[in-house]
């Protein structure tokens, strides 16, 4: 298995979702099983629907090794499938579409998910579906916006990766503006799509806005933007192009595509917009852009954006679509084998460094025999018990400014939680039990403004919290119990359940529509066959 920092973070939240499904003790906000059973809010802010999907998948796989293999396979399947769908809609020939889709699996954040669990990989996997909506805006004069598809795509991104949803808005902006200039009658469908996306992502939006308004939340770790842009590296780089690196062979493809578009006589406005927007974003994402100055002017980007190379999530789908369209324009029956051979060679050159990266990480981690043995065959619990994760300060409540929240979490919770007894109660409550000599005790829990703590059966009215949200209580001599509850008002419960219901209705609609289309196709083929037999 390949386990790095991000893997531990996501494994912890998926384990929590899996145990909620297994036990039936659901809690939308409070993390009662993962993250040292601390009660901190994680999944509500990091794609709750997708977390429950991964939790269910984890239960089906029954061990972490199988889960990691299956999840990587699903990511590649979704990424290649979405790119194929985009290229098919754009009229690209099948052989070119397949090769371009395979190339897509070996660039950007998709290989970064495979060898580093970077969750932006899922955003990149779904981004061709977003671009399909953008391409439709400038290519379909009759119906530039299919509000149902656009709204459901954006809603899905909100449930998978919030930053990718924001990047998707950036991707769509120029295509929407061009559609507005050309046709203008797009506002109605646009607002329908926005409304649908808001409903489908309402639980995540609720969590983010409500918690931010009522708590001072710690930001994610800060990174230096000036050194996190796209870099041109050698073909033999150990990490290939998985971490914001571009191989020379891919840079050559981009340059040739740019030159080819300039030389082609028949260039449409949409094609030039696609090329110009992708090349501009490529420049912005690179180390040549003055990110150091930008960070000084907008310091919040260091924590909320972190890495400029994340822009490849939206850049690479546009670049590959542009390449495919260029190839399609000059493709003939005679030169098809040549183009196919060139793309296949490019695929090999891009895949090789990714393979080397995976081998390197696997060899390093396989030396930890105890960890590997526990991961491979012993179910779900052993990994969570021995894996050191959750030390990030992300969205922990800040009680005292200037405190190192991540360090405090590691000291007060990560190193102490197993000294207390933990029991998850119905309705998502967490109960701690411990024996004390009396006096003040810092509980290994995280309490927000919405949290309620009951000590030995009595609600603590004036709760004292350390920075990081750790409750401080006056324990009695002997056995003590404390119950942590995250209190959700009625309106909040309505929003959460309304969101789940909207997804159920949407899934039912698409299922019925698919079955109807399949039935009609069968009937059509049957009638056609009968006519043929009759003739």
State the DSSP string of 450-476: TEEEEETTEE-SS-EEETTTEEEEEEE
Distance CA 318, CA 311 (A): 11
Tell me the average confidence (pLDDT) per consecutive run of 10 residues in the chain, 535 residues long: 75 94 95 93 94 96 90 96 96 90 89 85 96 95 93 97 96 95 86 97 95 92 87 55 65 74 73 92 92 93 90 95 87 66 67 58 52 59 67 85 84 90 94 92 94 94 89 93 96 96 94 84 70 59
DSSP, res 439:
E
Per-residue model confidence (pLDDT) at position 528: 66
C-alpha span between 246 and 173 (Å, rounded): 25
State how far the Cα of 79 lies from the Cα of 72, in Å rounded to an integer. Answer: 11
Residue 214 placed within a domain = yes
Same domain, yes or no: 187 and 265: yes
Q: Report the number of distinct structural domains present in the chain.
A: 3
Statement to judge: residues 283 and 414 lie in one domain: no
* Nearest residue to 84 (alpha-carbon basis) of 418, 317, 285: 317
Do residues 79 and 196 share a domain?
yes
Is the domain of 480 the same as that of 495?
Answer: no
Residues 71 and 85 in one domain: yes
Q: What is the pLDDT of residue 85?
A: 97
Task: Identify whether the C-beta of residue 137 lies closer than 8 Å to the C-beta of residue 180.
Answer: no
Whole-number Å distance between alpha carbons of 376 and 421: 27
Question: In whole angstroms, what is the distance from residue 60 CA to residue 379 CA?
Answer: 11
How far apart are alpha carbons 59 and 304 in whole angstroms?
32
315 and 173 in a common domain: yes
Q: Strand 464-466 to strand 458-459: parallel, antiparallel, or no bridges (unpaired)? A: unpaired
Residue 308 forms part of a structural domain: yes
CB 469 within 8 A of CB 505: no
Query: Which residue bears the tokens 């754009």?
Result: 90
Interatomic CA distance for residues 301 and 324, integer angstroms = 33
The encoded tokens of residue 511 equal 């299922």
Place of tokens 């260091």: 302
- Does residue 376 belong to any structural domain of this protein? no
Residue at 44 is within a domain: no
What H or E segment, with its residue span, contains residue 307? none
23 assigned to some structural domain: no
Domain-embedded: residue 88: yes
Residues 210, 264, single domain; the answer is yes
pLDDT of residue 240: 40
Provide the residue range defining the domain that includes 277: 64-366
Residue that is last in its domain, among 310, 339, 366: 366
What DSSP line would sit under 378-428, residue for residue?
S-SHHHHHH-------TTPBPSSTT--HHHHHIIIIITTGGGSEEEEEGGG
Q: Please give the Cα distance from 443 to 435 (Å, whole number).
A: 12
Token pair recorded at residue 71: 């999840």
Do 322 and 442 fall into the same domain? no
Unique residue bearing structure tokens 């994402």? 285
User: What values do phi and psi take at 246, rounded to 5?
Assistant: -115, 125
Q: Please indicate, yes or no, whether residues 233 and 273 belong to a single structural domain of this protein.
A: yes
pTM attached to this predicted model: 0.89
Contacts of 485 (CB under 8 A, 6+ apart): 30, 427, 428, 429, 430, 451, 452, 453, 454
Q: Which of 110, 196, 111 is nearest to 156 (CA)?
A: 196
In a domain, 45, yes or no: no
Q: What is the CATH number of the domain that holds 416?
A: 2.60.40
148 with 257, same domain: the answer is yes
- The closest alpha carbon to 204, from 154, 167, 238, 240, belongs to 154
**Predicted local confidence at residue 241, as pLDDT:** 43
Q: Is residue 21 part of a domain?
A: no
DSSP summary character for residue 235: T
| Structure tokens, 267 | 């260039």
Phi, psi of 205 (to 5 degrees): -65, -40
Claim to verify: residue 437 and residue 294 sit in the same structural domain: no
Query: Do 202 and 196 form a contact (C-beta atoms < 8 A)?
Result: no
SS3 category, 489: coil
Q: Are 115 and 357 in contact (CB under 8 A)?
A: yes
Whether 321 and 274 have beta carbons less than 8 Å apart is answered as yes
How many residues are recorded in the chain? Answer: 535
318 in the same domain as 223: yes
């Amino acid at each position: 298995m390949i386990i790095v920092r991000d893997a531990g973070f996501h494994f912890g939240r998926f384990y929590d979702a899996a145990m909620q499904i297994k036990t039936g003790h659901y809690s939308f906000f409070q993390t009662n099983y993962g993250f040292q059973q601390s009660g901190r809010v994680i999944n509500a802010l990091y794609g709750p629907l997708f977390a429950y999907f991964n939790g269910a998948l984890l239960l089906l796989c029954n061990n972490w090794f199988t889960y990691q293999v299956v999840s990587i396979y699903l990511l590649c399947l979704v990424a290649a499938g979405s790119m194929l769908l985009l290229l098919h809609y754009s009229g690209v020939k099948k052989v070119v579409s397949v090769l371009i889709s395979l190339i897509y699996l070996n660039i950007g954040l998709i290989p970064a998910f495979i060898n580093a669990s970077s969750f932006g990989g899922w955003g990149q996997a779904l981004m061709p579906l977003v671009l399909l909506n953008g391409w439709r805006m400038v290519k379909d004069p009759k119906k530039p916006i299919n509000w149902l598809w656009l709204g459901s795509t954006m809603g899905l991104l909100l449930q998978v990766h919030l930053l990718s949803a924001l990047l998707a808005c950036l991707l769509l902006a120029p295509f929407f503006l061009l559609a507005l200039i050309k046709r203008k009658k797009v506002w109605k469908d646009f607002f329908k799509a926005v409304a649908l996306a808001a409903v489908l992502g309402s639980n995540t939006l609720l969590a983010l806005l409500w918690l931010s308004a009522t708590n001072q939340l710690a930001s994610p770790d800060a990174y230096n933007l000036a050194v996190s842009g796209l870099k041109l590296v050698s073909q033999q780089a150990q990490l290939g192009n998985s971490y914001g690196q571009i191989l020379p062979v891919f840079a050559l493809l981009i340059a040739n595509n740019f030159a080819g578009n300039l030389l082609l006589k028949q260039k449409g406005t949409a094609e030039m917009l696609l090329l110009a927007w992708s090349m501009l974003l490529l420049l912005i994402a690179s180390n040549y852009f003055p990110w150091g100055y930008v960070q000084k002017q907008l310091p919040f980007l260091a924590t909320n954006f972190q890495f400029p190379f994340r822009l490849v999530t939206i850049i690479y789908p546009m670049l590959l679509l542009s390449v495919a369209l260029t190839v399609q324009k000059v493709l003939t029956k005679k030169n098809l084998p040549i183009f196919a051979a060139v793309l296949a060679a490019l695929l090999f050159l891009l895949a090789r460094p990714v393979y080397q990266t995976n081998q390197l990480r696997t060899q390093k981690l396989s030396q930890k025999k105890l960890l590997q043995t526990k991961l491979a065959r012993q179910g779900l619990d052993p990994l969570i018990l021995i894996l050191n994760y959750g030390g990030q300060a992300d969205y922990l409540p800040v009680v005292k400014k200037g405190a190192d929240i991540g360090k405090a979490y590691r000291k007060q919770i990560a190193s102490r939680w197993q000294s207390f007894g933990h029991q998850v109660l119905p309705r998502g409550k967490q109960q701690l039990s411990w024996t004390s000599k009396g006096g003040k005790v810092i509980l290994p829990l995280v309490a927000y403004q919405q949290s309620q703590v009951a000590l030995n059966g009595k609600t603590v009215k004036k709760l004292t919290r350390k920075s990081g949200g750790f409750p401080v209580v006056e324990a009695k001599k002997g056995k003590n119990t404390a119950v942590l509850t995250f209190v959700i008002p009625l309106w909040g419960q309505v929003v959460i359940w309304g969101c789940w219901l909207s997804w159920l209705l949407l899934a039912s609609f698409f299922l019925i529509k698919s079955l109807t289309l399949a039935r009609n196709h069968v009937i059509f083929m049957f009638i056609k066959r009968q006519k043929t037999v009759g003739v």
